[in-house]
Amino acid sequence: MSPLQELIAEVPQQGRVRWIGVRPQSRSPMLELEAVEARLEAGLTGDHARPGVRNARQVTLIQWEHLAVISSLMGRAHDHPVRPEDLRRNLVISDINLFSLKGRRFRIGQATFETTGWCQPCARLESNLGIGTFQAVRGHGGITARVLQSGIIRLDDTVSVEPLADSGYAPFNVR
């Protein structure tokens, strides 16, 4: 392994679940939860995500620290900061760079996931939160994942990365 590959392979940080939410229907408001079940190939219980191994967006995750960045880029840092439910992601994670999960398997609480891609902003965010939202979220929208092992996820649960040798998962392409 090259020195760069070694740096990429090592993820010493552990994350923490700061917020959990599901959408019972596609355009419905997020429901904030204290715990949720991640189901193999189906996503989170109560979320509208289409079940199936082909669904690469079973679960969406965003970086807690990026909420402040997005708020600042939208000019809302002090008066009306962006809240987790505004961005419509399922899990908000702090203390670990979600991009370090690229091409990796990771554990949250009792469940195991694999990263499937970047979670890009959609036009609906712009219509819900106002002009400039799309550009503010670009590069800060988080990641998408699929459930590999079912389990319960609770607020404050740990997010930990499995070693690359154990993951058996090839990194996704970045466009």
Q: Residue 164's beta-bridge partner residues?
A: none
On the question of pLDDT at 173 being above 70, the answer is no
On the question of pLDDT at 45 being above 90, the answer is yes
DSSP H helices, 42-90, are 64-73, 84-87
Q: What is the mean pLDDT of the chain?
A: 89
46-53: long-range pairs with CB below 8 Å, 24+: 46/22, 47/22, 47/23, 47/90, 48/22, 48/23, 48/24, 53/146
Q: Tell me the pairing of strands 59-63 and 91-94.
A: parallel
Domain that holds residue 134: 14-162
On the question of pLDDT at 54 being above 80, the answer is no
On the question of pLDDT at 3 being above 50, the answer is yes
- What CA–CA distance (Å, rounded) separates 137 from 140? 5
What is the total count of domains within the chain? 1
Structural domain contains residue 27: yes
Q: Which residue has the tokens 């965003």?
A: 62
Phi, then psi, of 13 in degrees rounded to 5: -75, 150
Structural domain contains residue 72: yes
- What CA–CA distance (Å, rounded) separates 152 from 136? 32
Kindly state the DSSP code that residue 100 receives in the 8-state scheme: G
Q: Residue 14's beta-bridge partner residues?
A: none
Residue type (1 letter), 48 = H
The tally of CA atoms less than 13 A away on the side-chain side of residue 34 is: 0
Rounded percentage of the chain residues whose pLDDT exceeds 90: 65
pLDDT in tens, 73-105: 999 877 889 999 999 999 999 999 999 998 899
- CATH label of the domain that carries residue 99: 2.40.33.20
Structural domain contains residue 2: no
- What CA–CA distance (Å, rounded) separates 30 from 34? 13
Structural domain contains residue 173: no
pLDDT in tens, 110-130: 999 999 999 988 888 888 888
Structural domain contains residue 83: yes
